[in-house]
A and B are shown apart, each in its own frame.
Chain A
Amino acid sequence: DAGVIQSPRHEVTEMGQEVTLRCKPISGHNSLFWYRQTMMRGLELLIYFNNNVPIDDSGMPEDRFSAKMPNASFSTLKIQPSEPRDSAVYFCASRGGMRQETQYFGPGTRLLVL
Chain B
Amino acid sequence: SQKIEQNSEALNIQEGKTATLTCNYTNYSPAYLQWYRQDPGRGPVFLLLIRENEKEKRKERLKVTFDTTLKQSLFHITASQPADSATYLCALDIEGGKLIFGQGTELSVKP
Tell me the dominant secondary structure on chain A's binding face. strand
**CB-nearest residue of chain B to A42:** B103
Which among B38-46, B56-64, B73-81 touches the partner chain? B38-46
Tell me the dominant secondary structure on chain B's binding face. strand
Nearest Cβ on chain A to B94's Cβ, whole angstroms: 10
A34 on the interface (CB 8 Å rule)?
Answer: no
Scoring B34, B44, B89, B97 by chain A CB atoms within 10 A of each residue's CB, the highest score goes to B97
A98 on the interface (CB 8 Å rule)?
Answer: yes
A87 on the interface (CB 8 Å rule)?
Answer: no
Neighbouring A residues of B46 by C-beta, 8 Å: 102-104
Could you tell me how many residues of chain A have their Cβ less than 8 Å away from some Cβ of chain B? 22
| Complex CA distance for A108 and B38, rounded to whole angstroms | 12
Neighbouring A residues of B99 by C-beta, 8 Å: 33, 45, 103
Task: Mark each residue of chain B from 77 to 111: 1 if its CB lies under 8 Å from any CB of chain A, else 0.
Answer: 00000000000010001001111111110000000
Neighbouring A residues of B96 by C-beta, 8 Å: 55, 98
Task: Find B97's partner among A4, A44, A95, A108 (CB 8 Å cutoff).
Answer: A95
Could you tell me how many residues of chain B have their Cβ less than 8 Å away from some Cβ of chain A? 20
A25 on the interface (CB 8 Å rule)?
Answer: no
B13 on the interface (CB 8 Å rule)?
Answer: no
Nearest Cβ on chain A to B19's Cβ, whole angstroms: 20
- Beyond known contacts A43-B101, A102-B34, A107-B43: 4 more, CB 8 A cutoff: A31-B97, A98-B97, A105-B43, A105-B44
B residues near A, CB below 8 A? Answer: 32, 34, 41-46, 49, 89, 93, 96-104
A residues near B, CB below 8 A? Answer: 4, 31, 33, 42-45, 48, 55-56, 91, 93, 95, 98, 101-108
